[in-house]
Every structure is written in structure tokens, then in C-alpha cells.
Amino acid sequence: MRHFLTLRDFTKEEILEIIDTAIEIKKDLKAGIYKEQLKNQTLAMIFEKSSTRTRVSFETGMFQLGGHALFLSNRDIHLGRGEPVKDTARVISSMCDMVMIRTFEHSMIEEFASYSRVPVINGLTDSFHPVQLLADYMTMVEYGVADGAIVAYIGDGNNMTHSWLMLAAKLGFELRIATPKGYEVNRKILEVALKMAEESGAVITQTNDPKTAVRGATIVTTDTWASMGQEDEKEERIKAFSGYMVDDSMMDTAHSDARFLHCLPAYRGQEVSESVLEKHSEIVFNEAENRLHAQKGLMVWLDKKRER
Ligand code: CP
Ligand code: NVA
């Protein structure tokens, strides 16, 4: 049995296999073909943070695969009142076939997974957001921009940046990260990525100059400057990130055919300008839709690896 906690635990071949499954599933859906590959199965979805895309895509995806999804916010279950993670894990995994968790500390899902009898999927922690990267890479493949990609990530060194690090290091593409001073990525995660990059050939760099990172990039991406849980820091972050907005002049520095990606939700006038987001809305909203297909691919893939 496999869990999906970070991309670090997956080989390049496995990541590409999941993406291929997702692309196949998307093709079927567009042709009106519904294969009930997870018939009668139940996905428990534990949300300790807000969500639009993750909730809708997992719940819809599970339904389309013939299964059922349970939305469990920490206001509704005893986990939010202090029932231990390990007890919650043993109970839920004795009844459900898969569990998706969105939470704060990454160690919480690691602990949950270690007590779970069924696959656990990371639906975002403070450290990683790997299901988003499946959708992002699927989008890159669909638009024919995955091979030879030079990705520039401009903004906060956060869960999205860490996941881009894992993806680049596994698949071997170039990733340039630009953050303000003091908002760099986690050093340990960077070290792990650089070690993996030695094997895959990925070129990973970090700078405090967004223009250096973006020069000639074929994909420019960013994320909110204040992630969930950092609401109190919002004002101070807006000041610290001055000059980091992906706007038209930043996009003009990138490759002439550069694409823009954003995991959403986007804060126009902060990490991205209205103009850039709207110019690239076709790919960005496809990226969002691909959450549905990518996660269906992931759930089908995880189910196949499960011994019963
Ligand atoms: N991108 C993403 O995970 O969106 P939600 O927070 O809406 O789930
Ligand atoms: N970094 C953001 C991603 C939201 C999908 C957050 O954690 O809030």
C-alpha cells in the first residue's frame, strides 16, 4: 500500500504513470465515459483549513469513479476536540477506503498515515501541496510545455514552492526560485531537492532577484504571499513582497511564449496583476480543472497498489 504525502516518495516513472492515467480519465470524461473504477469505495476528506478546489475536485472525482466522499471538517469530528490523530486514523481507516487530509503540520499526516490501514493523500500541509503539482504538471504536458521547461517561481518560499522543488528534482527540469530575503524556502527541503537533482539532472537555483529568475523562463508561476494560517502577517508580507508581483513587465522578461500558472486562489494586485491573470486565464482555469482529473488518476493508481 502507498500513501501520497510528498512527491519525494515517488519515482519519476510513477509520477508520469499517474499523469498518464489522469489524461486517459480526462479523455474518457470528455467523451461521456464514466468508468466506475472505485465503485462502492469511500474517501474520507478531513479539512482543517478552507478549500474550494480541493474539496470540489476530490468529492466530484470520487463520485464520478463510482464511490462516495465524506467531508469532515475539524468542527464536526472529534479530532478538532482533541481525539488523538492515531485513534482517528485507526477508526476512519477501518471504515473508509482512502483518506485525504488538509492540515497545518506535515507531521500530522505522517502520523495519521503511520496508523492508517488505507492510503492517505496530502491535500495540503504547511510544508507541501503535492496534488496541486500533479495538476500543474498534467497541464504542462497538455500544453506541450513540459519538455525542456524552465520554471520561474516568484514569491513566497512556501508549501507550493517546496512541491515545485520536489517535482523539478524528480523530473529533472530547471527551477528558479525568487523570494524576498527572509522568505526563502526551507533549507532542509532545498537540500533534499538538490541531492535528488544530482541524479535527475534538474537545475535548481534560488535568488532574491525576480528579474534574474524570470529571464527566459518558459513557465512563470507564483502563489499567495500569505498562506492559510498566516493571515496575521498579511500586511507585513505585502510590504516585504513589494516588487514581486508577476505583472506584464515581469512576463515580458520571460520567454516570448512563456505560460503563466497559478494554483489559485489568486490575489490580484498582490502576487499577480489582473492583466497577467486574465491574459493567461485559459491555462490557469484548465490547471484548476485538472485538479479533478489528476486526483482521479491518483486515486485509481493508489487503489491498484493496495493489497486487500
Ligand atoms: N489550489 C487549491 O488547493 O485550492 P483550494 O485551497 O481552493 O483547495
Ligand atoms: N500556499 C497556499 C496554497 C493555497 C492553495 C496556502 O497554503 O494557503
Tens-digit pLDDT profile for residues 247-286: 999 999 999 999 999 999 999 999 999 999 999 999 999 9
Q: How far apart are CA 111 and CA 119, in angstroms?
A: 13
pTM over 0.75: yes
Answer yes or no: 252 catalytic: no
Mean pLDDT, rounded, for 128-154: 98
Q: Would you say the CB of residue 160 lies under 6 angstroms from ligand 2?
A: yes
- Whether 96 is catalytic is no
* Residue 189 domain-assigned (yes or no): yes
Residue 133 beta carbon below 6 angstroms from any ligand 1 atom? no
Cα separation of 62 and 192, whole Å?
Answer: 33
Same domain, 141 and 155: yes
Determine what percent of the chain is predicted with pLDDT higher than 70. 100
Pair 153, 276 in one domain: yes
- Which is the closest atom of ligand 1 to the Cα of 288? 1
* Residues 296, 271 within the same domain: no
Asked if 120 and 168 sit in the same domain, the reply is: no
What CA–CA distance (Å, rounded) separates 251 from 267? 17
The answer as to whether 240 is a domain residue is: yes
Q: At residue 31, does pLDDT exceed 90?
A: yes
Catalytic residue among 129, 162, 237, 259: 129
Mean pLDDT of 98-110: 98
Grid coordinates belonging to 127: 510544508
Range 109-119 average pLDDT: 98
Output the pLDDT for position 90.
98
- What is the pLDDT of the chain when averaged over all its residues? 98
The ligand 2 atom at the shortest distance from the C-alpha of residue 223 is: 1
Q: How far is the CA of 205 from the centre of ligand 1 (A)?
A: 26
Q: Does 148 lie in the same domain as 125?
A: no
Question: Cα of 82 to ligand 1 centre, how many Å?
Answer: 26
pLDDT at 307 over 80: no
Per the structure, the count of domains in the chain is 2
Give strand pairing partners of 174. 150, 203
Question: Can 248 be counted among the known catalytic residues?
Answer: no
- The answer to whether position 1 is within a domain reads no
In a domain, 279, yes or no: yes
pLDDT in tens, 66-88: 999 999 998 899 998 999 999 99
pLDDT digits (tens, 9 = 90+) for 10-30: 999 999 999 999 999 999 999
% the chain with pLDDT above 90 = 98
Do 268 and 149 share a structural domain? yes
Is 2 inside a domain boundary?
A: no
202 and 117 assigned to the same domain: no
Q: What is the pLDDT of residues 126-138, one digit of tens each?
A: 999 999 999 999 9
**89 within a domain of the structure (yes/no):** yes
Runs of H (alpha helix) within 116-271: 130-142, 159-171, 187-200, 210-214, 234-240, 248-253
Query: pLDDT value at position 146?
Result: 98
Whether 260 and 150 share a structural domain: yes
- Give yes or no: residues 48 and 64 share one domain: yes
Residue 109 forms part of a structural domain: yes
Q: Is-contact 150 173, C-beta < 8 A?
A: yes
Copy the grid coordinates of residue 24: 486517459
Q: What is the mean pLDDT of residues 215-229?
A: 98
Cα separations in angstroms, 273 against 39, 253, 277, 290: 43, 15, 6, 23
Active-site entry in 223, 262, 270, 303: 223
Domain hosting residue 196, numbered range: 132-287
> Which amino acid, one-letter code, is at 137?
Y
Q: Is the pLDDT of residue 182 over 80?
A: yes
Average pLDDT over residues 40-44: 98
61 and 105 belong to one structural domain: yes
At 39, phi and psi to the nearest 5? -55, 135
136 and 124 in one domain?
no
**Half-sphere exposure (Cβ direction) of 253: Cα atoms closer than 13 Å:** 14
Ligand closest to the CA atom of residue 155: 2
Residue 229 in domain: yes
Q: Are residues 138 and 281 in the same domain?
A: yes
Q: Indicate if the pLDDT at residue 215 is higher than 80.
A: yes
Q: Dihedral through CA 274, CA 132, CA 189, CA 127, nearest 10?
A: 90
CATH code of the domain in which 232 resides: 3.40.50.1370
Amino acid at 29: L
61 Ramachandran zone, left/alpha/beta (phi>0; psi -120 to 50): alpha
The one-letter amino acid code at 205 reads T
Question: Is residue 221 in contact with ligand 2, taking CB distance under 6 Å?
Answer: no
